[in-house]
Amino acid sequence: MIAGFPGWNLGFFRIGGPGLGNLLFIWARAFARSLETGAVLIDPVWHQLKVGPILRRERDLRTYLDVFPVRSPRAVWRELVRCRLLGRPPTGEVRVGGARVTYEIVRDGRTTFHDLDPYREQIRTVLPKLVRPRALPSLPPTEFIALHVRLGDFAPPREGTLGTAINTRLPLSWYLAALRAARAAHGDPTFPALVFSDGADEELEPLLREPGVERAPPRPAFADMLTMARARVLVCSNSTFSFWAAFLGQAMLVAPPGLDLVTYFPSEMLASRIFGCDIGAPGPVIVRT
């Protein structure tokens, strides 16, 4: 079983391809298929080289060298050399020595958790075992609100909109209102909050000057994801990175306005409770996952 990540596969790393959130959808479906079929899941090519983050001088170049160990030569041999799978159809057989081996390449990167929900606990258990120890989170000493403010490669919202499209920035005014609403719901105007973002401190200044709000310390992306998953309240961006934190965790979820959560999550994962507050139309939805 092979997770067929996009990009130019050079064995130990790829050139191009999507970010961690989107890669995880492909890996998770390959992992689920390996559970269903009993097949061996070959260690995928997590490491990548992308020009965009370098040109934009982003804090995280998204190579994921700080998240995943270097791929084993055995995995490269099994995928690229011995089975010679580059350019082959998604399923089939190859001859290895005197035997024939059945293979399957999973390339399904749909950004939905509907089909992955039955494997949620297995995914939660296995994922931390795939990464370097330094990519695991250090939990804050108290309960906290997590705010995922994705800037970097996200496009600014169109004039007159709140940025409801995927891969579009949300204005900081929305995060501020969502933070205050979440704090009001807990009856504590200074409930601790951590900001997770690829933006500069200057861009985040309106949030960071709020009482009780700090920027999360620099950590690998995966550590940020797991830390966000353990928050009391998770204020999301329009990002699959946020969605993975919501899927893996149990936090209350403050969703961006106009986002149809049922598109991404099974309805049984989502409570029907809507928290009403005046931060734009439509207001944020707070649900328990």
Q: Can you give the pLDDT at residue 276?
A: 38
pLDDT computed for residue 277 by the predictor = 40
If you search the block for the tokens 């791929």, which residue do you land on?
Answer: 71
Angle among Cα 224, 261, 116 to the nearest 5 degrees reads 70
> How far is Cα 146 from Cα 254, in angstroms, rounded to an integer?
10
pLDDT 10s digits, 140-184: 768 999 999 987 656 565 545 554 555 567 888 889 988 988 888
Query: Cα(164)–Cα(92) distance, rounded to whole angstroms?
Result: 41
Q: What's the pLDDT at 215?
A: 94
pLDDT given at position 167:
59
pLDDT computed for residue 38 by the predictor: 92
What stretches in the chain show pLDDT beneath 50? 159, 163, 272-283, 289
Q: How far apart are the first and last CA of the chain?
A: 30
Q: What is the pLDDT of residue 123?
A: 96
Token look-up 């209350």 returns 252
- For residue 57, the SS3 value is coil
Q: Which residues pair with 145 in a beta bridge?
A: 193, 233
State how far the alpha carbon of 164 is from the alpha carbons of 84, 207, 239, in Å: 43, 20, 11
Q: Kind of pairing, strands 14-15 and 48-49?
A: parallel
How many residues appear in the chain? 289
Residue matched to tokens 């490491």 = 47
Peptide bond into 140 cis (omega under 30): no
- Please report which helix (H) or strand (E) contains residue 287, including its range: strand 285-288
pLDDT given at position 138: 78
What was the pLDDT predicted at 91?
Answer: 73
Closest alpha carbon to 287 in 278, 266, 279 = 266
DSSP annotation of 80: I
Question: CA 33 to CA 107: how far, in whole Å?
Answer: 12
Both structure tokens of 250: 């149990």
| pLDDT tens track for 188-208 | 999 999 999 988 889 899 999
**Nearest Cα to Cα of residue 195 among 228, 161, 169, 166:** 228
Domain 134-288, CATH number (from 3.40.462, 3.30.200, 1.10.3470, 3.40.50) = 3.40.50
- Select from 133, 146, 132, 150 the least CA-distant residue to 216: 146
| Measured distance CA(72)–CA(222) in Å, rounded | 20
% of the chain with per-residue pLDDT over 70? 76
CATH 3.40.50 residue ranges of the chain are 134-288
Write down the pLDDT at residue 162: 53
Tell me, what's the pLDDT at 116?
A: 96
Could you tell me the two tokens for 122?
């297995």
